[in-house]
Structure 1
Amino acid sequence: MGSQLEMAMEGLIKVFHSYSSKEGDKYKLSKSELKSLLQGELGDIMCASKDPLVAEKIMADLDENRDGEVDFQEFVVLVAALTVACNEFFVERLNN
């Protein structure tokens, strides 16, 4: 068994590919695959947003090369940004 960080990295890779392999290019997330991933894996965060177009906005932000799909590198940008935001939230709560 690997370290916690190695297991987290493996988990990220597995989650990405479990959604990306459902349609089209198996190495990229289509808009519907990204929406499914966001709802299935980040449901609490998605529910906190009252914006019904949040998935579309995330897709537009992540799709740097504007090919209509999100590759693994673009996906990792989302995970990193959410992780930073969550860390800042928890640090604030711990200091109050």
Structure 2
Amino acid sequence: MTTPSKTEVAMQNLMDVFYQYAKGEKYTLTRSQMKKLVEIELTQLTKKKGNIEAFDRMMKDLDFDGDGEVNFEEFVSFIASIMLTCNEIYVQKREQMKK
């Protein structure tokens, strides 16, 4: 058996995290499950806790189909948007280091 690549491991980790929190038959994240995931798994990005309005806006933006829950597709979209923002910061820091 071959060793999985870093990308394959990252993909498996994201799926594991989603399904760890997506309890129930529908495999979706309720508001409280998503909040718990964000608080535990994204601690470096969510140092300011207690901002309920921002969380509510995020949940509304994530819920593309309007069912009040976050499915796997919506979760992946959320992770991608966070990664894009983090990448912008990463590139800016690299550019500053070159100067």
The two structures share one fold, judged by TM-score above 0.5:
yes
The answer for the alignment partner of 2:66 in structure 1 is 66
Give the percent of matched residue pairs that are identical in Structure 1 and Structure 2.
Answer: 36
Looking at structure 2, the residues matched to 15 and 59 of structure 1 have their Cα atoms a distance apart, in angstroms, of 18
Uncovered stretches (5+) of structure 2, i.e. residues with no partner: none
What RMSD, in angstroms, separates the aligned Cα atoms of the two structures?
A: 1.6
1:7 is aligned with what amino acid? Answer: V
Aligned 8 A contact 1:28 1:70 in 2 = yes
1:3 pairs, out of 2, 5, 9, with: 5
Task: Give me the TM-score of the superposition, normalised by structure 1.
Answer: 0.89
Moved more, 51-60 or 83-92: 51-60
Structure 1 residue 48: Cα displacement:
4.8
Q: Does 1:54 align with 2:60?
A: no
Moved more, 47-56 or 76-85: 47-56
Looking at structure 2, the residues matched to 75 and 25 of structure 1 have their Cα atoms a distance apart, in angstroms, of 17
SS in 2 for 1:29: coil
Aligned 8 A contact 1:38 1:55 in 2 = no
Aligned 8 A contact 1:31 1:68 in 2 = yes
2:57 is aligned with what amino acid? Answer: K
- How many residue pairs end up in the alignment? 94
Q: Normalized per residue, which structure has more helix?
A: 1
Structure 1 residue 69: Cα displacement:
0.4
Task: Give me the TM-score of the superposition, normalised by structure 2.
Answer: 0.87
Looking at structure 1, the residues matched to 50 and 91 of structure 2 have their Cα atoms a distance apart, in angstroms, of 24
Question: Using a 3 Å threshold, how does the CA distance of structure 1 residues 83 and 6 change in structure 2: closer, same or farther?
Answer: same
Uncovered stretches (5+) of structure 1, i.e. residues with no partner: none
Looking at structure 2, the residues matched to 26 and 64 of structure 1 have their Cα atoms a distance apart, in angstroms, of 16
The answer for the alignment partner of 1:31 in structure 2 is 31
